[in-house]
């Protein structure tokens, strides 16, 4: 019996050990779960990284959006500029004895030669066809003008007298020449060349628009109107 009791005790002990083992097993399972959690944490980290990537994407999108906004701002600024200061036209036209344009410094009182790179078109009337954004000549600036048409050579010219005081030009200004190269960007609508000399000291001007460049000599800028283009200066 005693040995039987020992067997029973042993069985009980074994059962207890088995229980302990069972208790330990879930602990191991728990450890495994923890590992799974760790893996889960790693997954979370990956998610965080993914979130970072998303943030980066968001940043990239924001940067892209900002970049997109920048050209829009630039475009707006570019659009705003002409509105703020309208571009002064540099295209002249000679339509008749009364409807024509000449080039003058953009600002009142400007020196003729010093504004070779900046001269703009000034016309006898506003909105002359073919002279976009041209200015209008000050009243009384043109005192007399003589219109010549040479159909054979294909040129037209205007010569005459000016009242320099109407645009603040100086009596000490010996004048200068404007042509296709000075100012760069200037044009004579409907013609291939032009030459203009303005002499504030003598208060005369002359302009010729030519189909053939040789009829508009630009290599005699210091000779003055009467020698370069001839014509009537009364």
Ligand X SMILES: *[C@@H]1O[C@H](CO)[C@@H](O)[C@H](O)[C@H]1NC(C)=O
Between residues 74 and 153, which has the closer beta carbon with respect to ligand X? 153
Smallest separation, CB 220 to ligand X (Å): 5
Q: Is the peptide bond before 183 cis (omega within 30 degrees of 0)?
A: yes
Task: Write the CA distances from 125 to 48, 109, 121, 128, integer angstroms.
Answer: 72, 21, 11, 6
Beta-bridge mates of residue 210: 155, 193
Tokens at residue 114, please? 């010093």
Per-residue interface string for the shown chain with ligand X, residues 210-229, x marking contact by CB under 6 A: -------x-xx---------
Smallest separation, CB 186 to ligand X (Å): 20
Between residues 142 and 182, which has the closer beta carbon with respect to ligand X? 182
Rounded to the nearest angstrom, the gap between the alpha carbon of residue 70 and the centroid of all alpha carbons in its chain is 13
Site for ligand X in 126-145 (CB under 6 A): none
Between residues 88 and 218, which has the closer beta carbon with respect to ligand X? 218
Smallest separation, CB 210 to ligand X (Å): 13
d(CA 187, CA 203): 24
Smallest separation, CB 177 to ligand X (Å): 12
Beta-bridge mates of residue 233: none
How many amino acids of this chain bind ligand X (CB under 6 A)?
3
Site for ligand X in 158-217 (CB under 6 A): 217
**Closest to 184 in 3D by CA, of 120, 97, 96, 99:** 120
Q: Which residue number has the CB closest to ligand X?
A: 219
Which residues are near ligand X by CB under 6 A?
217, 219-220
């Amino acid at each position: 019996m005693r040995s039987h009791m020992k067997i029973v005790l042993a069985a009980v002990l074994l059962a207890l050990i088995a229980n302990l083992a069972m208790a330990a097993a879930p602990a191991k399972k728990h450890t495994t779960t923890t590992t799974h959690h760790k893996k889960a944490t790693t997954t979370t980290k990956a998610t965080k990284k993914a979130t970072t990537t998303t943030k980066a994407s968001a940043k990239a999108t924001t940067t892209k959006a900002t970049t997109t906004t920048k050209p829009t701002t630039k475009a707006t600024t570019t659009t705003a500029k002409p509105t703020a200061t309208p571009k002064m036209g540099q295209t002249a036209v000679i339509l008749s004895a009364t409807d024509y344009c000449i080039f003058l410094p953009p600002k009142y009182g400007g020196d003729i030669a010093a504004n070779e790179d900046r001269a703009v078109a000034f016309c006898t009337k506003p909105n002359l066809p073919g002279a976009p954004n041209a200015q209008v000549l000050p009243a009384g600036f043109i005192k007399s003008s003589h219109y010549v048409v040479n159909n054979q050579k294909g040129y037209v010219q205007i010569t005459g007298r000016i009242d320099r005081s109407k645009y603040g030009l100086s009596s000490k200004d010996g004048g200068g020449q404007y042509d296709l190269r000075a100012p760069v960007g200037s044009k004579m609508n409907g013609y291939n060349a032009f030459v203009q000399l303005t002499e504030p000291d003598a208060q005369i001007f002359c302009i010729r628009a030519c189909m053939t460049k040789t009829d508009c000599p630009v290599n005699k800028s210091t000779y003055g109107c009467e020698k370069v283009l001839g014509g009537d200066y009364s």
